[in-house]
Structure 1
Amino acid sequence: MLNRSKLEAILAANPMPAQLTAAERKRVYRSAAPVNFLLTSKETNNALAIMEGTAVRGAEPPRHVHQHEDETFIILEGEMDFYIGEQLVTAIAGDVVFLPRQIPHHFVVKSEYVKNQIIISPGSFDQYFWYLSAPFKEGDKTGSVPPTPEELKAWKELVALFDVTFL
């Protein structure tokens, strides 16, 4: 259940600007994975958000369900298996995969890493990625690692504020 006041307080601590420069768009998610905010929810009146990022094998999120957002993945490099409800979809560079809201899903990176674009609609879930990211600096090392049990617990509590449930 969405806790609007707690969510607003968390987002106020790391607000996403209404307009971003090219340098501000490039960030590092969860201290390791590069993410580029191509188009934000603030720039589209929350219609959608588009991000480009890299997912590393072994650091994928657990199976989860979004109450409000559809996600569309465009695979640029690498290979992923998507588990959408009971369906398995294998995707490689050039493939597009749609994950509808309210359907449990997760993915597994099959190659060493996957570079992809993600379209989120409506777009406000991009603020979750903004909150968990920091400005990218030249020389930043990238490459996600699996979360510790403590990190997973905190991650689960944070996504719940966005009405996303880890299963």
Structure 2
Amino acid sequence: MQALWFFNTLVRIWVSEVEGQDGLSVMEHWAPFGDSPPLHIHHTEDQVFIVLEGAIRFFVGDTSRLALPFEEILGPKGVPHTHQVESPEGARWVTVNAHRDFERFVRAISRPAEREELPPPAGPPTPEEMERIARIAETYGIEFVGPPLG
């Protein structure tokens, strides 16, 4: 199982998009308290989020929901969504991606994890870094439409 440092999180790829015929991808995420990606839209794939540990507030479209362990949230293709880790100890969840683009995006901007733990905190990307990341995201059908939470 490959482990990557993706921003301030650790991602383990359980099932890679190259293993099957349909591009299905299953990834485990481990993130610290307060972690939140920019509000974004996936134009090519649905996502299912399943919380394993901790508490995560998900915003999907106009809906806000706190998800606890063994609860799931659907992030439909074309609907803006984001999340924020609310548990002080951080959170772990699984993302099931219906297509290959999110996994490819994660691989494109991540680095191999040096150890099976969260990376050293790097803080938010600079505006220049965010522009570069947004351009990369667009090549994988992901559009940033708002800031992170918090």
TM-score calculated relative to the size of structure 1: 0.77
The residue number in structure 1 matching 2:16 is: 40
Find the aligned partners of 2:4 and 2:142 in 1 and give their Cα distance. Answer: 22
Q: Secondary structure at the match of 1:42?
A: coil
Aligned residues: CA RMSD: 1.9
The residue number in structure 2 matching 1:52 is: 28
Contact 2:6–2:111 (8 Å) recurs in 1: yes
Q: Secondary structure at the match of 1:41?
A: coil
Unaligned runs of 5+ in 2: 146-150
**Which structure carries more helix by proportion?**
1
TM-score calculated relative to the size of structure 2: 0.85
The residue number in structure 2 matching 1:146 is: 124
Find the aligned partners of 2:117 and 2:95 in 1 and give their Cα distance. Answer: 22
Identity %: 25
Find the aligned partners of 1:74 and 1:43 in 2 and give their Cα distance. Answer: 21
Structure 1 stretches of at least 4 aligned residues deviating more than 6 Å after TM superposition: none
1:130 aligns with 2:111: no
Unaligned runs of 5+ in 1: 1-21
1:156 and 1:44, CA in 2 relative to 1: closer, same or farther beyond 3 A? same
Q: Letter of the 2:141 partner, please give it.
A: D
The residue number in structure 2 matching 1:86 is: 62
